[in-house]
Amino acid sequence: MIQFTCDYTRTAVPEVLEALAKAKNQYTGYGEDEITAEAARMIRHLTGDENVAVHFLLGGTQTNSTVIAAALRTHQSVVAATTGHINVHETGAIEASGHKVTVIQTEDGKLSAEAVDECLTTHEKDPNVEHIVQPAMVYISNPTELGTLYSLKELTALAEVCRKHEVLLYMDGARLGYGLAADENDLTLKEITKLTDAYYLGGTKCGTLFGEALVIKNPMLKKDFRYIMKQRGALLAKGFLLGLQFRTMFDGESLEDTLYYKYARHAICEAQKIRATLKACNVPLLLDSPTNQLFPQFTEKTLSRLKRDFVFDIWSPTLVRIATDWSTHPEETEKLISTIRGEFCNSPF
Amino acid sequence: MIQFTCDYTRTAVPEVLEALAKAKNQYTGYGEDEITAEAARMIRHLTGDENVAVHFLLGGTQTNSTVIAAALRTHQSVVAATTGHINVHETGAIEASGHKVTVIQTEDGKLSAEAVDECLTTHEKDPNVEHIVQPAMVYISNPTELGTLYSLKELTALAEVCRKHEVLLYMDGARLGYGLAADENDLTLKEITKLTDAYYLGGTKCGTLFGEALVIKNPMLKKDFRYIMKQRGALLAKGFLLGLQFRTMFDGESLEDTLYYKYARHAICEAQKIRATLKACNVPLLLDSPTNQLFPQFTEKTLSRLKRDFVFDIWSPTLVRIATDWSTHPEETEKLISTIRGEFCNSPF
Amino acid sequence: MIQFTCDYTRTAVPEVLEALAKAKNQYTGYGEDEITAEAARMIRHLTGDENVAVHFLLGGTQTNSTVIAAALRTHQSVVAATTGHINVHETGAIEASGHKVTVIQTEDGKLSAEAVDECLTTHEKDPNVEHIVQPAMVYISNPTELGTLYSLKELTALAEVCRKHEVLLYMDGARLGYGLAADENDLTLKEITKLTDAYYLGGTKCGTLFGEALVIKNPMLKKDFRYIMKQRGALLAKGFLLGLQFRTMFDGESLEDTLYYKYARHAICEAQKIRATLKACNVPLLLDSPTNQLFPQFTEKTLSRLKRDFVFDIWSPTLVRIATDWSTHPEETEKLISTIRGEFCNSPF
Amino acid sequence: MIQFTCDYTRTAVPEVLEALAKAKNQYTGYGEDEITAEAARMIRHLTGDENVAVHFLLGGTQTNSTVIAAALRTHQSVVAATTGHINVHETGAIEASGHKVTVIQTEDGKLSAEAVDECLTTHEKDPNVEHIVQPAMVYISNPTELGTLYSLKELTALAEVCRKHEVLLYMDGARLGYGLAADENDLTLKEITKLTDAYYLGGTKCGTLFGEALVIKNPMLKKDFRYIMKQRGALLAKGFLLGLQFRTMFDGESLEDTLYYKYARHAICEAQKIRATLKACNVPLLLDSPTNQLFPQFTEKTLSRLKRDFVFDIWSPTLVRIATDWSTHPEETEKLISTIRGEFCNSPF
């Protein structure tokens, strides 16, 4: 069986495993080692902002809840799309740290500047404002949980709205590598750094064993951040394991030179082949995602045929998620494509 | 100016003020006095269940968040209507105690058994169930925030769904007096006691200075409840003040004999007069509420005229809430009615 | 039986009850009425600082946990004496809002500037500082839980240490009236306002039915405070009940002119008579408290005799707390004194 | 420089790194893969109880706070020694999940059955019991933070006290491997399983890259545990990484057959050589620890000499912690020993 369920089915890119195998020294604990410092310097360089803080945490849920707990006072909420990961798939981690997720209904997983502006304005104008949680941060994921991407124009508009209302803008970048490597993407890391208060470059889903590289620009959020990491279990004793992996992934003069980008680009190429096939075969797509996640709506019969050889993430009886990643073998892609073609098209291409 | 904004504009019913004025003794603190015990016995008697626990807390937000904090484990949520008070008007009190409010969209402020069943079934069947908060309590308000009422049939069906899924059913009764006294009501206190795990008989909005009488039937929820009250600031040092008020309000062989009921019934009568007038004048109503809250949609012109003499709670430019209560003077009602008639009907009745 | 157990056994001073009986108007809810505004103005006047915020909350535990939740970020703690109310008698309310109480061992319930300086310095110098909660507020009670008082010199030194380390200083004034009215007291309300970031003037134990008047000087703490009150159940629907009571108690050009002071002074006088008797009879005292709480160590035989007519708060088999308050009748005091004399002195005075 | 600072300076035992390098398959996420199931089976086998639940979490702070959040209701506390890791070195993680740590002063880091009995009895007998957090779990670490060990007799007595008072007993086993491998140890894994409600076998400090194997016997604690792991960021996307490591470490018919034990035993042997040297040289020890942590009190001069070649964890100007671990090379130990001897003894052994 070949799994296209998700982007965390295999260990890590070979270079990361090699770096780990070679690390025979003794290192200082809790991320205070020189390798971690070097990894942070590399990422700072790529962001174009020497003043950002870079921290390495273990996973997405932890990163999100740590950032949000660090940012908000007790009466404040974080605004997210109804489909936002923090709203639906973190078992109430945000609420467990005391904060409501204020939701905005969306079709494509993205928050528009207009919708956020309306949400924040409505709150500010409410005559009973104190009876309602105060939105103080906007959470977006890019790519979203539905594989869609923010454009530079959209992110700029959103950032302006956030600044106007004095709320923070935070980007969950669990799959940011795949976003940055997408054909349709027009955002750079430098622009993301300029437009947001914090974001993370996901490692777990983009080729490391685990780990997320959090970039913080906002000074209030930077302050005492390691305390909050420790409190949330995010200060790994062997922090150098994160340093080793991210130093390997982010070594490069520009993002395009890094392994992080190269492996993400590979995943995009594999996804694009599948996307093209689905379109050619007129398989309906929930959304025309440009990233590594595709959401085709198969017929029962076709899905049943595909399930003989492939595993997908099942969203509804016939809607599935197909995800490629840094480790997807072209032969795996090829086999999936030819099976789909065989089912749908009944004709050679 | 006459206020029809809400049901907490005046101090308390005269009998409560008299009881307070006469209380010259020394009493044991924190609700461990004999008066409070007597008030609890009276309420227990009216519920028809000698085993329920009765506690007196200070206000609605406090009561809701204390009950929910007592009931849920860290990964559990409480299900509510989107319009539910805990979801929109308690500044994230539930989230501040660590729990998500899982919302169900409704038209009339009520949760149907079907909608709750679907919500709970969807959770249980989710393949990634552990990634999602676990609904473990259903919160309803009766009357709802929109003035609507649950029927015996509806509450029975809801209770059955809750038992089937092993979740608790909790009723916010901030205005329960007005609900029980409504013409359309077919629920008794004894039935509510049988069908729910906990509920409260609101005092603040129904004639006491402050205070809510919480009735708990569920054994798990009863356990150690006073600890949790103390932690949440709900164990009033002079707890006998609550005992004094609720003993005054609930002294009676049956509910209908109590001051609580009689004053609620008065408010309903006043509201009914206004409701009849609104209908006679063809003023559109958001919902045809049978309780003490009415939601007419006036024209700008009419509202502007009414605002010369009356204060309402403004919900949108022309939608207002008119609330009567135990203290509404018939002359106040009469003046409102004649002003509305004058505006709308241009004809003598 | 006469109770000397505590200072919250009777309803309220007559003037408060009268004010309540006379209040027949309709008032705006949630403390936004004019009476509450007037009460706040009166208190602001007495503090000598027109810029302080004044809020009225319901009780001590609620006030403490609301202030502390408003002040601290998630990784921060509040420093208190081991005997501090927040550490031992609030059922973990501070921890329930996410914060550790960092304790300092004391003999007399007071925190010395030196001890606090050492505690804060130790934290700052810890090489693993991020692994330890960061103290960010110092909590003191004045009078303390043991009836002792801070002198102007002590409070000034403590305030200097707090400013040096950039932590807030908060005073729990549940019995502040009794402190300000004590013979040994050399602190004024104006000095307390200058030296602390926030404190409250307790009502519950000093003659109101309930309620505490919180004074906030620190701008960060002022911001959005009503949101946090609402979240913690501290925004009373009929907030005017607090306004009515505190307007009655704090009407005066100077503190000494107010009912708050006069009733506190009465309690002190009664306590002083008992204290003099205890000393004359050589009854050992846990501490020589100048306020309304006394802690005599009786013999078993004497205590057994006293228990025939009086109720005390039992701290250990023979150590009791005797508390007077605004309502203590001189005859009650006289009866206690003569019984003690009869037991101990066997001789006319 | 050779580090004896702690037991997490190097990556992992070679067998773990090899297992990782060889893992080329696709695995199901979130610990639902077969390798993780196999690792759990191996550990269950070693505990002698087929019904225990085994979960793999990422680190000690996370494991402790997840277990405690799962176990306690909102008004409950966990009892720990003042030196307990949860009390002093987790940045308030327990409080951040809403719970107080009720502390007992100890000399050697261990909680005696008598001290716990007294603490729990005192609470139960308090007349104001509801005003105080309710201890509901006892937290011990074995070895303790001071390197000391519980004997079978001590743990049995403690377990009996916990059962008598109906509180849970939880053992933090961050260094349990080193405890089980110590010469003075008389506890087996099977006995620990019988006597406690939950405990963990630490991986991070005992040879894995990261990870802790939590064993839960108590049925209430087992229920829904994965939800709470997810909420606390403890459900690693690539959970199979934990399975791979723990399967490698715990493959064996008996504990003594496992790599976990063998590597721990190695660390103990190295520590014992140093301990013998310190004693021979009459270096005062804070405690005569039988495990991998030693706490010698050097003179300034000696410490200054040692610091030329070695790094220790500095506890006070001259008190240091020396830790060996699975990776300590005998030559490193030898060099340390000879340097100490050279300083202290001025004579050949």
Instruction: Tell me the pLDDT tens digit for each residue of B73-86.
Output: 999 999 999 999 99
Touching subunits for chain D (3+ Cβ pairs under 8 A): A, B, C
Q: d(Cα C40, Cα C249) in Å, to the nearest integer?
A: 11
Is C241 in Cβ contact with B11 (below 8 Å)? yes
Q: d(Cα B92, Cα C230) in Å, to the nearest integer?
A: 9
Q: d(Cα C336, Cα C311) in Å, to the nearest integer?
A: 11
Structure tokens at B330: 């018939």
> Do the beta carbons of residue B309 and residue B339 sit within 8 Å?
yes
On the question of pLDDT at D126 being above 70, the answer is: yes
How does pLDDT run across B216-251, given as a tens digit for each residue?
999 999 999 999 999 999 999 999 999 999 999 999
pLDDT of residue A324: 98
Q: d(Cα A210, Cα A229) in Å, to the nearest integer?
A: 16
Average pLDDT over residues B178-185: 98
Predicted confidence band of residue D349 (pLDDT cuts 50, 70, 90): very low
CA nearest C66 in A: which residue? A74
pLDDT of residue B343: 83
Predicted confidence band of residue C348 (pLDDT cuts 50, 70, 90): very low
Sign of CA pseudo-dihedral B127, B133, B138, B142: negative
B99: nearest CB among A95, A127, A314: A95
Q: Is B226 on the interface with D (CB under 8 A)?
A: yes
3-state secondary structure B272-320: HHHHHHHHHCCCCECCCCCCCEECEECCHHHHHHHCCCEECEECCCCEE
Helix (H) or strand (E) holding C343: helix C330-344
On the question of pLDDT at C299 being above 60, the answer is: yes
Query: What residue has token string 């003179």?
Result: D299
Is B73 in Cβ contact with D74 (below 8 Å)? no
The dihedrals phi and psi of B78, each to the nearest 5 degrees, come to -115, 135
Is D236 in Cβ contact with A210 (below 8 Å)? yes
- The number of C-beta contacts closer than 8 angstroms across B and D is 56
Q: Lay out the sheet containing B168-172: strands in order across.
A: B53-57, B212-216, B198-202, B168-172, B134-141, B76-81, B101-104
CA D291 to chain centre: 11
> Do the beta carbons of residue C206 and residue C7 sit within 8 Å?
yes
On the question of pLDDT at D348 being above 70, the answer is: no
The dihedrals phi and psi of D276, each to the nearest 5 degrees, come to -60, -40
Q: d(Cα D270, Cα D284) in Å, to the nearest integer?
A: 19
On the question of pLDDT at D344 being above 80, the answer is: no
CA B170 to chain centre: 11
Is B224 in Cβ contact with D75 (below 8 Å)? yes
The closest of A136, C61, D130 to B31, measured between CA atoms, is D130
pLDDT of residue A345: 64
Cα distances from B203 to residues A41, C20, D316, D342, in angstroms, run 61, 17, 59, 81
Q: Is B231 on the interface with D (CB under 8 A)?
A: yes
- In this structure, what DSSP letter does residue C316 have? S
Average pLDDT over residues D42-63: 98
DSSP B63-113: HHHHHHHHH--TTEEEEEETT-HHHHSSTTHHHHTT--EEEE--SSSPPPH
> Do the beta carbons of residue D245 and residue D16 sit within 8 Å?
yes
Q: d(Cα B114, Cα A348) in Å, to the nearest integer?
A: 49
Instruction: Report the amino acid identity of residue D110.
Output: K
Is A227 in Cβ contact with C134 (below 8 Å)? yes
Percent of chain D predicted with pLDDT > 90: 97
Query: What residue has token string 């040092």?
Result: B237
Is B96 in Cβ contact with A98 (below 8 Å)? yes
Helix (H) or strand (E) holding C77: strand C76-81
CA D262 to chain centre: 17
A100: nearest CB among B92, B130, B314: B92
CA nearest C127 in A: which residue? A32
Average pLDDT over residues B295-311: 96
Q: d(Cα D303, Cα D298) in Å, to the nearest integer?
A: 6
Structure tokens at B16: 């409560």
Q: Is D159 on the interface with A (CB under 8 A)?
A: no
The dihedrals phi and psi of B296, each to the nearest 5 degrees, come to -80, 150
Q: List, in sequence order, every residue forming a beta bridge with B323; answer none if it has no partner.
A: B293
pLDDT of residue C343: 83
Instruction: Report the amino acid identity of residue A219.
Output: P
Helix (H) or strand (E) holding D57: strand D53-57
pLDDT of residue C345: 65
On chain B, the residues whose CB falls within 8 A of the CB of D231 are 74-75, 133
pLDDT of residue B90: 97
Average pLDDT over residues C227-236: 98
Q: Is A317 on the interface with B (CB under 8 A)?
A: no
On chain D, the residues whose CB falls within 8 A of the CB of B133 are 227, 231
On chain A, the residues whose CB falls within 8 A of the CB of C73 are 70, 224, 228
Is A23 in Cβ contact with D21 (below 8 Å)? no
Is B230 in Cβ contact with D130 (below 8 Å)? yes
Q: How far is A254 from chain C (nearest CA, A)?
A: 33
Q: Is B77 on the interface with A (CB under 8 A)?
A: yes
pLDDT of residue C349: 43
pLDDT of residue C344: 73
A75: nearest CB among B89, B92, B97: B92
Residue A124 sits at the vertex; the CA angle it makes with A123 and A125, to the nearest 5 degrees, is 95
On chain C, the residues whose CB falls within 8 A of the CB of A235 are 130-131
Side-chain half-sphere exposure of A60, counting CA atoms within 13 A:
26
Strands A76-81 and A134-141: parallel
Query: What residue has token string 């406690």?
Result: D196
Q: How far is D104 from chain C (nearest CA, A)?
A: 13
Mean pLDDT of all residues belonging to chain C: 96
The set of residues, in sequence order, having a beta carbon less than 8 Å from that of A285 and lying 6+ positions away, is A275, A278, A279, A294, A295, A296, A297
Q: List, in sequence order, every residue forming a beta bridge with A323; answer none if it has no partner.
A: A293
On the question of pLDDT at B300 being above 60, the answer is: yes
On the question of pLDDT at A189 being above 70, the answer is: yes
> Do the beta carbons of residue A169 and residue A195 sit within 8 Å?
yes
On the question of pLDDT at C245 being above 50, the answer is: yes
Average pLDDT over residues A223-252: 98
- Orientation of helix D113-125 relative to helix D152-165, angle to 10°: 10
Is D75 in Cβ contact with B228 (below 8 Å)? yes
Average pLDDT over residues D99-122: 97
Query: What residue has token string 């991020």?
Result: C130
Query: What residue has token string 């020294």?
Result: A25
Q: How far is D27 from chain C (nearest CA, A)?
A: 35
On chain A, the residues whose CB falls within 8 A of the CB of D27 are 9-10
D238: nearest CB among A28, A96, A204: A204
CA nearest B3 in C: which residue? C26
Q: Is D115 on the interface with C (CB under 8 A)?
A: no
A231: nearest CB among C30, C74, C231: C74
> Is pTM, for the whole model, over 0.95?
yes
On the question of pLDDT at C238 being above 90, the answer is: yes
pLDDT of residue C223: 98
Predicted confidence band of residue B348 (pLDDT cuts 50, 70, 90): very low
On the question of pLDDT at C347 being above 90, the answer is: no
> Do the beta carbons of residue C179 and residue C188 sit within 8 Å?
no
pLDDT of residue B346: 59
Q: d(Cα D130, Cα B230) in Å, to the nearest integer?
A: 7
D228: nearest CB among B30, B75, B227: B75
Query: What residue has token string 């003077």?
Result: B329
D6: nearest CB among A21, A25, A29: A29
pLDDT of residue D305: 95
Which range has the worst mean pLDDT, A178-187, B14-23, B320-329, B337-346? B337-346
pLDDT of residue B57: 98
Residue A93 sits at the vertex; the CA angle it makes with A92 and A97, to the nearest 5 degrees, is 110
Is C58 in Cβ contact with B58 (below 8 Å)? yes
C99: nearest CB among D88, D90, D92: D92
> Do the beta carbons of residue C274 and residue C321 sit within 8 Å?
no
The set of residues, in sequence order, having a beta carbon less than 8 Å from that of B223 and lying 6+ positions away, is none
Average pLDDT over residues B158-165: 98
Q: Is C271 on the interface with B (CB under 8 A)?
A: no
pLDDT of residue B296: 97
Touching subunits for chain B (3+ Cβ pairs under 8 A): A, C, D
